Amino acid sequence: MADRITSPFGAKSTAREVVAGHDLSGRVAIVTGAATGIGVETARALADAGAEVIIAARKPELGEEVANRINEEVGMKRVSFGMLDLSSFEAIRHFAHRWGDRRLNILINNAGVMACPLSRTADGLEMQIGTNHFGHFLLSVLLAPSLVDGAEHSGHRSRLVSLSSIGHRRSPIHFEDPNYNSRPYDKWEAYGQAKTANSLFAVGFDKRFKDKGVNANAVMPGGIMTPLQRHLPLEEQQALGWIDEKGKPREGFKTTEQGAATSVWAATGDELEGVGGLYLEDCAQAVPWSKDTPWVGVMPHALDPEAAERLWTLSVETTGAGA
């Protein structure tokens, strides 16, 4: 990787450190799932730098509370809440319809479900790929004209950030049965498949929209203790090596402020101007995964252009989106 893209930041950098010096005045950002976890810190850092930020999430009380808190901190109303349930195509279309033809400069697909018991979205899809990928796919395609418009009128390329995970190493896309209709369900394989899809989506989106002023990259935020772990008992988290017997996270886990840093860098970093289709980690382009460093890096199946094309076709068929 002779031309690997890096930045002055790293694993311990915070979102606010990454955005320091950037003036995002006049730019509009949507962050999905920003009512909890690293989404809150992502929204806070962008608002801190002057952006108008919409927290798109499914819990109004929580979302409004976070928006109000950030507005108090920055001393003006820059953050608002928008109702969005990514497990329902109807709800996603409703959000996009309400958005209308407003310009958009940054879309951060941050929301996610991890390792839940087998359940289905409103449209009958397996919950993890249905919410994490297909829901975000439909949202992004419906908002793509707004991102293109944002680039045309701001003098800056628009950016889409798709949150993946090291979990992608657990599974490629099972194209023959992505929704576990006939094969036995494995919650971790399903999570891995969904996170692979998040990375492949950035590859496919960037290919289609880079010539229209929009770039897309995938992000591995790092290991962070957030409500994403809500479906995992403490014993399982200990067995995975995430926490010790006293409940203390293992060495290498990040704070939420550090976990939001790579998302914010993907959305604002000068090093990424005009660059897309990458998998980013610790505020740099990820190295290839290896057994010697199992907690970092990206596997080839998460950036495979053929798989990205196949997934795009499947996603158009599944969502009915005319992309």
In whole angstroms, give the CA distance from residue 130 to residue 180. 11
Query: Residue 149, SS3?
Result: helix
200's CB contacts (< 8 A; 6+ apart) are 173, 302, 303, 304, 307, 308, 311
- Helical H runs in the chain? 15-19, 37-48, 60-74, 89-99, 127-129, 136-154, 187-209, 234-239, 256-259, 261-268, 305-319
Q: Which amino acid is at 231?
A: H
DSSP summary character for residue 81: E
Calculate the CA dihedral of residues 39, 44, 247, 61 and round it to 10 degrees.
Answer: -70
- C-alpha dist (Å) from residue 84 to 58, 94, 145, 200: 5, 8, 19, 23
Residues carrying an active site annotation: 191
Question: Sheet containing 214-220: which strands, arranged edge to edge?
Answer: 79-83, 52-57, 28-32, 106-109, 158-163, 214-220, 279-281, 284-285
- Tell me, what DSSP letter sits at residue 167? G
Give the integer Cα–Cα distance in Å for 257 and 57: 19
**Kind and range of the H or E run holding 160:** strand 158-163
Q: Strand 284-285 to strand 279-281: parallel, antiparallel, or no bridges (unpaired)?
A: antiparallel
Tokens of 90: 């109807």
